[in-house]
């Protein structure tokens, strides 16, 4: 990673990225760091966050690690207070933290599995928005929230019911927040990735193969079929869509939208 002086859309801005330790969150954090943002990196695992923070610092950027469980409102309150103390008022919130949830038929999913998935993926985004917008509003200079949802929030997604329900809910949360916060010049948008290259998608495909009793390669083929580009998108491609929506320079007139980054995956 090297800083790019030609494109510094977030110079002087403070950004929070949840779930910043790997995958999409890591790519978003590194990209924001390249473009000048001072970063608060939040997740439950300190070790992974420290790796990302070190990469940002090595390139001349600023990053603070704040261990946070977004499903715990008190933890989110502490995170927000930590950001204000260490970096100042946030300009950008990226709600990316999430878990895959179980790969099972709906009738086999336990209450605990359902609740855990919704608590992290949906309630966690609500908690973060609830507490982070308060200092944004008090400062009076607006801001941007980008919620990372999924194409699973726009289609039926068999064997991933809690995950899909959480992402449908996140899109609803996104649009409602946009309507509420627009008068305060806080823009709220959503990015809906399709299958994304990396550790999580490989685990999802493996779990689907096992649950369905099919070969791993067949499950991988099923996850790619219907994508005109013939491949899964990369974390960096998703990150660039997130940065576009977070950027006042590029997206000042855009709010309440859900952008799909999926290689052209056909919506059912």
**Host domain of residue 135:** 14-194+234-258
Clarify whether residues 85 and 184 are in a common domain.
Answer: yes
Clarify whether residues 68 and 132 are in a common domain.
Answer: yes
Instruction: With beta carbons less than 8 A apart as the criterion, state whether 47 and 24 touch.
Output: no
Clarify whether residues 159 and 47 are in a common domain.
Answer: yes
Q: Is 163 a catalytic residue?
A: yes
Mean pLDDT, rounded, for 135-139: 97
Instruction: With beta carbons less than 8 A apart as the criterion, state whether 28 and 42 touch.
Output: no
Q: Is residue 107 part of a domain?
A: yes
Per-residue burial over 21-52, b if 16 or more Cβ lie within 10 Å, else e, is bbbbbbbbbbbbbbbbbbbbbbbbeeebbeeb
Clarify whether residues 186 and 93 are in a common domain.
Answer: yes
CA distance 174 to 35: 25
Clarify whether residues 72 and 147 are in a common domain.
Answer: yes
Q: Is residue 131 part of a domain?
A: yes
Burial of 152 (0-12, 13-18, 19+ CB in 10 A): buried
Number of domains in the chain: 2
Question: What is the model's pLDDT at position 267?
Answer: 62
Q: Is residue 244 part of a domain?
A: yes
pLDDT tens, residue by residue, 205-234 = 777 777 777 887 877 777 777 888 888 889
pLDDT tens, residue by residue, 167-209 = 999 999 999 999 999 999 999 999 999 888 777 777 777 777 7
Q: Is residue 138 part of a domain?
A: yes
Clarify whether residues 97 and 217 are in a common domain.
Answer: no
Per-residue burial over 74-89, b if 16 or more Cβ lie within 10 Å, else e, is ebbebbbebbbeebee
Q: What is the CATH number of the domain that holds 158?
A: 3.40.50.720
Clarify whether residues 48 and 179 are in a common domain.
Answer: yes
Clarify whether residues 149 and 225 are in a common domain.
Answer: no
Confidence of residue 3 (pLDDT cuts 50, 70, 90): very low
Clarify whether residues 212 and 183 are in a common domain.
Answer: no
Clarify whether residues 173 and 220 are in a common domain.
Answer: no
Q: Is residue 4 part of a domain?
A: no
Instruction: With beta carbons less than 8 A apart as the criterion, state whether 66 and 83 touch.
Output: yes
**Placement of tokens 């995956």 in the chain:** 265
Clarify whether residues 151 and 238 are in a common domain.
Answer: yes
Q: Is residue 267 part of a domain?
A: no
CA distance 263 to 251: 22
22, 127, 157, 163: which one is catalytic?
Answer: 163
Instruction: Report which secondary-structure segment, H or E, holds 41.
Output: strand 38-43
Clarify whether residues 216 and 174 are in a common domain.
Answer: no
C-alpha triplet 17, 91, 257: angle, nearest 5°: 75
Q: Is residue 5 part of a domain?
A: no
> pLDDT > 90: what percent of the chain?
76
Q: Is residue 121 part of a domain?
A: yes
Mean pLDDT, rounded, for 75-101: 97
Confidence of residue 108 (pLDDT cuts 50, 70, 90): very high
Instruction: With beta carbons less than 8 A apart as the criterion, state whether 143 and 90 touch.
Output: yes
Distances (CA, A) of 125 to 7, 51, 118, 140: 29, 24, 10, 22
Cα Rg of the chain (Å, integer)? 18
**Placement of tokens 């590194």 in the chain:** 30
pLDDT at 1 over 60: no
């Amino acid at each position: 990673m090297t800083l790019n002086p030609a494109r510094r859309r977030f110079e002087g801005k403070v950004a929070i990225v949840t779930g910043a330790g790997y995958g999409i969150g890591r790519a978003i954090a590194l990209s924001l760091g390249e473009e000048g943002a001072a970063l608060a990196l939040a997740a439950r695992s300190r070790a992974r966050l420290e790796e990302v923070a070190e990469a940002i610092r090595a390139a001349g950027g600023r990053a603070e690690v704040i261990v946070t469980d977004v499903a715990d409102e008190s933890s989110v309150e502490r995170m927000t207070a930590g950001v204000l103390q260490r970096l100042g008022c946030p300009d950008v919130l990226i709600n990316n933290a999430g878990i895959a949830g179980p790969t099972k038929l709906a009738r086999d999913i336990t209450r605990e599995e359902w609740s855990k998935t919704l608590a992290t993926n949906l309630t966690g985004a609500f908690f973060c928005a609830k507490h982070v917008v308060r200092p944004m509003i008090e400062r009076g200079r607006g801001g941007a929230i980008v919620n990372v949802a999924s194409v699973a929030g726009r289609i039926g997604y068999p064997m991933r019911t809690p995950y899909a329900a959480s992402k449908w809910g996140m899109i609803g949360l996104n649009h409602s927040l946009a309507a509420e916060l627009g008068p305060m010049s806080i823009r709220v948008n959503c990015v809906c990735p399709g299958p994304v290259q990396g550790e999580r998608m490989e685990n999802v495909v493996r779990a689907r193969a096992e649950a369905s009793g099919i070969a791993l390669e067949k499950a991988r083929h099923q996850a790619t079929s219907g994508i005109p580009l013939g491949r899964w998108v990369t974390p960096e491609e998703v990150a660039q869509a997130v940065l576009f929506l977070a950027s006042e320079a590029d997206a000042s007139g855009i709010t309440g939208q859900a952008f799909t980054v999926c290689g052209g995956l056909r919506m059912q």
